[in-house]
Copies of this chain bind each other. A is one copy, B any other.
Amino acid sequence: MSTKAALPKRSEHYSEWYNDLVKRADLAENSAVRGCMVIKPYGYSIWEKMQRALDDMFKATGHTNAYFPLFVPKSFLEKEEGHAEGFAKECAVVTHYRLKANPDKKGALMADPESRLEEELIVRPTSEAVIWNTYKNWIQSYRDLPLLINQWANVVRWEMRTRLFLRTTEFLWQEGHTAHASADEAVKETEQMLDVYAEFAEKFMAVPVFKGVKTANERFAGAEETYCIEAMMQDGKALQAGTSHFLGQNFAKAFDVQFSNKENKLEHVWGTSWGVSTRLMGALIMAHSDDNGLIVPPKLAPIQVVIVPIYKSEEQLAAISAKVDEIRTSLISRGISVKFDTRDGMTPGFKFADWELRGVPVRLALGERDLQNGTIEVSRRDKERGEEGAKTVANIEGLADTVQNLLEEIQQNMYNKALAFRTANTRNVDSYDEFKAIMARGEGAVSGFVLAHWDGTGETEQKIKEETKATIRCIPLNAPEEDGVCIYSGKPSKRRVLFAVAY
């Protein structure tokens, strides 16, 4: 077993660092199918933790899961004009339903020309069309509302430039689709789910987020209003981590979904949709990890504690193992997940580096002398090697308490660090020259977030994007009213909006 080369340094090659880390920490890899990824077992186990936590939150807010078809008939996509415009472009089109032996090439297969579909099927890029076509039959009366449904599914968007987790042709996500009797109720739902996403990002992922609404240019195709959460990555770029859309009556009108209200009059239903995807894995990695590898917050860590034995003989290992059994039992009884790394033929140093790469929050190392002293070495992954408190010695007696408290402390510390970084790199800017200078910072320096005045027009937004690559990530919710002038046009503005270069 050879020791592995170090990762590229974040300060020098951020995107290579990311790509290497994703592969080397066994999170995901590119597949033989262009733009589609394989989510490897370790990466998938983190995604499963995310799913479980989100699913619990969806259910606690009254939603249930269901499943709708993978395929969308082409004609469905034509129904909601804005939606078709935004989504119909880059997608996988199924045109045939059978393969047959290729008569011109032995052993080869070909699409059977006789199996051509009358109407092409699109692999869902999102499911509004299929779901609203179904809701038509489920909703007749106000008594059938609200309808609060979520789906965990795969979707396909034919991306030209892909990156593991961040932008892939196929990805996994959840998509909530709700139907309501009033605009007011639908807006409340949209906002509630945004809050759920923000809470998940902050409490589980340890990633602080800005909540806001998108400008008209950046709105979801078919929505009246798109709410989003925006997170800052370590390179200062923004990552949109979740969106929640108020659909108005657009899909209800496109698919003719009406209900009779309490006055027995027909009205179109009001809708929302909201989703987060495996992109969150990218956010998690880029918000926290370091040059030694991944750092996973304890609440999402598939393995929270790893125990590495330090031994020179089989007898020593046996004595250590007996003590480790006790430790494991006491940790597991508190719901802490533990791995005892007994792999043979690897040095403790190799194992330490391996678990660092995978971001396990707490590492315990136990050797012969520790056994005699009743102590154990405790390392926390959220601190840098050599940083004060990164490595301590604890008593084995009471260790479960020590570890439980430490896991909570790590979770909180990771959030605090990410928040401090974001705060340090979020600037109020009042001149376009300063804005351009900040956005022009190269790799190694951080542009971060800029709060600036904007005149509210799409033209200005577009010009700034062309000139600086920065986009308006959102108009923050609850941004204080403040008289100012647009940094670009000098026209009056009532509040600052959030700019950044984004993933």
Q: What is the distance, in angstroms, from A36's C-beta to the closest C-beta of chain B?
A: 4
- A121 within 8 A of partner (CB): yes
Determine which of B66, B69, B120 lies in contact with A111 in the assembled complex, contact meaning CB atoms within 8 Å. Answer: B120
- A95 within 8 A of partner (CB): yes
Q: Which residues of B have CB within 8 Å of A45?
A: 64-65
Q: Which residues of B have CB within 8 Å of A32?
A: 73, 76, 130, 133-134
- A9 within 8 A of partner (CB): no
Q: Which residues of B have CB within 8 Å of A391?
A: none
**B109 touching A78, Cβ below 8 Å:** yes
Q: Which residues of B have CB within 8 Å of A115?
A: 93
Give the segment of A83-91, A184-192, A195-203, A464-472 that binds chain B: A83-91
**A31 touching B94, Cβ below 8 Å:** no
**B38 touching A134, Cβ below 8 Å:** yes
- A71 within 8 A of partner (CB): yes
- A39 within 8 A of partner (CB): yes
Mask of A449-467 contacts with B, CB within 8 angstroms, 1/0: 0000000000000000000
**A31 touching B68, Cβ below 8 Å:** yes
> Cα distance A96–B84 when bound, in Å?
17
> Cα distance A154–B68 when bound, in Å?
11
> Cα distance A48–B39 when bound, in Å?
22
Q: What is the distance, in angstroms, from A25's C-beta to the closest C-beta of chain B?
A: 14
Q: Contacts A64-B41, A93-B97, A154-B154 hold; do A69 and B31 have CB atoms under 8 A apart?
A: yes
> Cα distance A381–B496 when bound, in Å?
61
Q: Which residues of B have CB within 8 Å of A39?
A: 66-67
- A98 within 8 A of partner (CB): yes
- A305 within 8 A of partner (CB): no
Which residue of B has the minimal Cβ distance to A118? B34
Q: Which residues of B have CB within 8 Å of A334?
A: none
Q: What is the distance, in angstroms, from A310's C-beta to the closest C-beta of chain B?
A: 22
Given contacts A38-B66, A84-B109, 13 further A-B contacts (CB under 8 A): A31-B134, A32-B133, A38-B69, A41-B64, A44-B67, A48-B65, A67-B172, A88-B109, A90-B98, A93-B95, A93-B111, A94-B94, A94-B123
Lowest 3 A-B CB distances belong to which pairs? A36-B69, A39-B67, A41-B64
Query: What is the interface of chain A, defined by CB distance below 8 A to chain B?
Result: 29, 31-33, 36-41, 44-45, 47-48, 64-74, 76-78, 81, 84, 88-100, 107-109, 111, 115, 120-123, 130, 133-134, 137, 149, 153-154, 156, 158, 170, 172
- 29 A-B residue pairs with Cβ-Cβ distance under 8 Å, sorted by A, are A29-B137, A32-B134, A33-B130, A38-B67, A38-B68, A38-B134, A39-B67, A44-B65, A67-B172, A69-B170, A70-B154, A78-B107, A78-B108, A78-B109, A88-B99, A88-B109, A89-B98, A91-B99, A92-B97, A92-B121, A93-B95, A93-B96, A94-B94, A94-B95, A95-B95, A95-B96, A97-B158, A111-B120, A123-B123
